[in-house]
A and B are shown apart, each in its own frame.
Chain A
């Protein structure tokens, strides 16, 4: 299954090889050509029937994780985070290190040994370490060399009502949606861009957008879903099970109002559940793609993910389906009516 296979691959920003290989294989099974650019993005060009316009779909292959930075005398590993990770969640988690997937655990002092004041405060990242069972520094160095990437260990599991628990849903959900969209045939040229290094500053998409030079770009993401206990209702970014979320603005981009309206109206017209992301926190590849060359009209369509950037991200399969349907609908309608693309490019509104 696409999403299970994708989320169980490890692809920390800067080391997306396993995901790239998987996607390249999938694409070649579909008899499509793909290119890998200088930074490592995979770009699949699906020629349209008329090729007057170029639409870019973008999803990032990389995920947050860690990197080996040193060793303790006793054979433990020191590490730093790659991408944004809440250090509070780290004690007692399982990880795998490097391409040979050396198993390790993030150790922490047992509660019995903690002083009263230690019990009340969080453990700082710099005092955490990984135990791979090595007895000496030299053994650890050999098994997990400096610079080896480290990822969370977490299996894809379906649970509850139509829910999924996995790591890296951000953004393997996007990758899965892109693969599905490549099955369609469109009037315009479609560029499915599987980008690298989103989590460390939207690096890959900047290069991809320049190379593709699209008229419109849709960014497919896993986004925050904070409808969880201890959070005030007004801080809920998205709601689980209420459909894919459209971004109006976030820290990195300002989605094209007309494009967002078109996607929203189409979803409503065809009865597909859709919601707006209601907070402006976070950011994604749209930030770079929007500013590419002389500017690109962008919109982000995201699957809400609770506990994002953790080994136990949770999403609803219904939202994933909604996301696929919305993206597919938007592409189909723009393919049938390529004048929509021209109108959006000119800053006009489209009524559906």
Chain B
């Protein structure tokens, strides 16, 4: 259950895309104990380095640590905040929601809802739009203007909730569950010595266009990339084939975005090591960092492992601890194998 407490802790930190600096130190510290060195680049990507004996090859594992959020876009005459989203957020989940406005200090704000008896019949049916919502700061307009400026960040208030059967519900599990598995991978790799350099990278600005990973891939020029991200968890109303069961292991992606031989290898390893996994068929853009790594510089052979997350991009994202652990286990086993068989694996 240690993994749940790591994830819980990671989920309460805030790092809205483009504003990850405040969380970078925390991640550096988490990587520190199992790395030879930890670096941070201009985009606040945090890179944990395990130096190899020969350093002739490089393997990079990424998981983004940025999160969706909001920016203050205005203050109305009554002191309520207007806001706009950073990343894709469904306005329907925002009614009666608590947020933290990062003004001069961190302030609680409430996204209210128009009282139901004042809704016109068509309003009751139609989903609310982001532009119609406001944040109530419980302050006079003067006080709000003193404390909050246009452009200030807003995040969901984190209230981690442990559910039955090793499941955690919180904000930002997409993709702090991936970051948790990076920490787990480092633990799994402890007993091994490598010839290659291993880079464990917590990346930034994924939610606004895979920016962080693009920079990190260019800088590190790895021979292989392993991307760890979130996929949709199984829910009753999910379209068939688009969601993956919680607790049944990582989803291994197959499709043009991924390197076929490496993907085959990782599936083989899962089978031989009895690590549960699921297959995720991606006919094109995976919508993950794999899309960026694959074509970085002269191209990086990439695989994608995804952790099922229910209710993605809400305040109650839900994951199963086993899936994080199994993702880490599979990735670590893959690194060990790929490291020795790289030449053979990379030729077509």
Which of A's residues lie within 8 Å of B, judged by CB? 72, 74, 76, 84, 86, 88-89, 91-94, 102-114, 119-123, 127, 129, 131-135, 139, 143, 153, 157, 159-163, 165, 224, 226-231, 235, 237, 281-282, 306-308, 310-312, 314, 316
Task: Return A84 CB to nearest CB of chain B, in Å.
Answer: 8
CB-CB under 8 A for A228 and B114, given A92-B316, A113-B242:
yes
Cβ-neighbour of B164 out of A108, A134, A312 (below 8 A): A134
Q: When the two chains form their complex, are residues A88 and B312 in contact, meaning their CB atoms are under 8 A apart?
A: no
What are 15 A-B contacts defined by CB distance under 8 Å? A91-B90, A93-B316, A103-B169, A105-B161, A106-B316, A119-B90, A120-B126, A122-B125, A131-B169, A226-B115, A229-B80, A235-B118, A237-B115, A307-B136, A308-B115
Q: Is B90's CB under 8 angstroms from A157's CB?
A: no
Residue of A nearest to B140 (CB): A161
Contact across chains for B96 and A93 when beta carbons are under 8 A apart: yes
Which listed residue (B110, B126, B167, B247) contacts A165, Cβ 8 A?
A: B110
CA of A314 to CA of B115, assembled, Å: 13
Against A, the Cβ 8 Å flags (1 = close, 0 = not) of B241-269 are 01100010000000000000000000000
Name the distance in Å between B60's Cβ and chain A's nearest Cβ.
26
> What is the CB-to-nearest-CB distance from B75 to chain A, in angstroms, rounded to a whole number?
12
Contact B98–A312 (Cβ < 8 Å): yes
CA distance A165 to B235 in the complex (A): 31
- What residues of B have a CB within 8 angstroms of the CB of A93 in the complex? 96, 316
Q: Does B210 contact A (CB under 8 A)?
A: no
Q: Which residue of B lies closest to A241 (CB)?
A: B140
Interface string of B305-318 (1 = CB under 8 A from A): 00000111111101
- Within the assembled complex, what's the spacing in Å between the Cα atoms of A310 and B116? 11
Q: Whole-angstrom distance between the alpha carbons of A228 and B107 in the complex? A: 19
Q: Roughly how many angstroms separate A163 CA and B139 CA in the complex, as a whole number?
A: 8
Q: Specify which chain B residues have a CB less than 8 angstroms from the CB of A165 in the assembled complex.
A: 98, 108, 110, 138
Asked whether B124 lies within 8 Å of A226 as measured between CB atoms, the reply is: no
> Chain B residue with minimal CB distance to A73?
B236
**A84, B310: Cα distance in complex, Å:** 28
Q: Let me know if B159 and A108 touch, CB within 8 A.
A: no
Which B88-117 residues sit within 8 Å CB-CB of chain A? 88-90, 92-93, 95-98, 107-110, 112-117
**Complex interface: chain B residues within 8 A of A84 (CB):** 116
Q: Could you tell me if B92 and A307 are in contact, using CB atoms closer than 8 angstroms?
A: no
Q: Which residues on A sit within 8 Å (CB–CB) of B169?
A: 94, 103, 105, 131, 133
> How far is A224 from B114 in the complex, measured between Cα atoms in Å?
11
How many angstroms between the C-alpha atoms of A134 and B312 in the bound complex?
19
B117 pairs with A281, CB closer than 8 A? yes
User: Judging by beta carbons under 8 Å apart, are B316 and A133 in contact?
Assistant: no
Q: Is the CB of A314 within 8 A of B88?
A: no
Known contacts A105-B161, A132-B164: A314-B127 contact under CB 8 Å: no
A305 to chain B, nearest CB (A): 11
The answer on a CB contact under 8 Å between B125 and A153 is no
7 more CB-based (< 8 A) A-B contacts, given A88-B128, A105-B318: A102-B164, A105-B169, A107-B318, A110-B314, A112-B232, A229-B134, A310-B113
- Chain A residues with Cβ under 8 A from B95's Cβ? 86, 88-89
Rounded to whole angstroms, the CA-CA distance of A162 and B89 in the bound complex is 31
Nearest B residue (CB) for A74: B236
- Of all chain B residues, the one with the shortest Cβ separation from A144 is B164
Query: Which of B128, B138, B318 is close to A131, meaning CB atoms less than 8 Å apart?
Result: B318
Q: Is B344 an interface residue (CB 8 A)?
A: no
- In the A-B complex, the 6 residue pairs with the closest CB atoms: A160-B138, A133-B163, A163-B138, A133-B164, A111-B90, A105-B316
Contacts of B88 in A (CB 8 A): 111-112
Whether B80 contacts A94 by the Cβ 8 Å rule is no
Residues A88 and B124 in contact, CB atoms below 8 Å apart: yes
B118 contact set on A, CB distance < 8 A: 226, 231, 235
Q: Is the CB of A161 within 8 A of B138?
A: yes
Q: Which residues of A contact B113 (CB under 8 A)?
A: 86, 88-89, 307, 310
Selected from B78, B112, B165, B235, the residue in CB contact (under 8 A) with A314 is B112
**CB-based contact B313/A112 at 8 Å:** yes
